[in-house]
Amino acid sequence: MRRLDQGMARDAALLLPEGDPARAKELRTRFRRLPVQLRTSGLAATYAFLAARSGTSGSDPLGRSYADVAQQVRARLADAGLLPAEVRTAAAPAVHRTVLRELGEMDTARYARATAEVALLFGWLRRLAEAVYVEEES
C-alpha cells in the first residue's frame, strides 16, 4: 500500500521539465509562489491564473509548464471525485470554463477539500522544484 504523499510526489515530479538553467530558475521561482498564491487568492483565482498563463501555443515552455500544472490540478480533483471525470481529457480553453464553473458551484466543505488537495500538490511541486532546480552559488 502506498501513502498519499508518495502519489503527490510522483505527480509533482512529472511536472518538472528538464531544460536550460535559465528556464529552470524561472520555473523554480514560479512554482515556489503557487502555494502562497493558493492561500492568498483562493483556488478559483489560482486556477484562473494557471489557465491564463498556459495560453494556447505549445511553443512557449513556461506556458506549457503552466498548462501541465493546470491539467494536473484537474486530474487530481477529478480523481478525488471533486470535478467531473471528463475534465481530465477535455481540451483547453473550454475545459477552463468548465472547471471554474464547477469550482464556483461547490459548497464550502467541498471547496475546502478541493483547496486542500491542490495545496498538497503545490507543496510537493514547490519542494521538488527547490530540490531539482538548485540555485547556482555566486
Residue 38: name the closest of 73, 3, 11, 75 by CA.
73
On whether the pTM is more than 0.75, the answer is yes
Tell me if residue 91 falls in helix, strand or coil.
coil
The Cα 51–Cα 80 span in angstroms is: 20
Question: 40: how many CB neighbours lie within 10 A of its CB?
Answer: 10
Which segment of 3-17, 48-62, 110-124 scores lowest on mean pLDDT? 3-17
- Report the percent of the chain where pLDDT is more than 90: 42
Domain ranges in the chain? 3-132
**Who has greater pLDDT, 25 or 6?**
25
Tell me if residue 10 falls in helix, strand or coil.
helix
Question: 22: how many CB neighbours lie within 10 A of its CB?
Answer: 8
User: Which pLDDT value is given to residue 59?
Assistant: 65
Task: Tell me the CATH class for 3-132.
Answer: mainly alpha
The mean predicted confidence, pLDDT, of the chain is 81
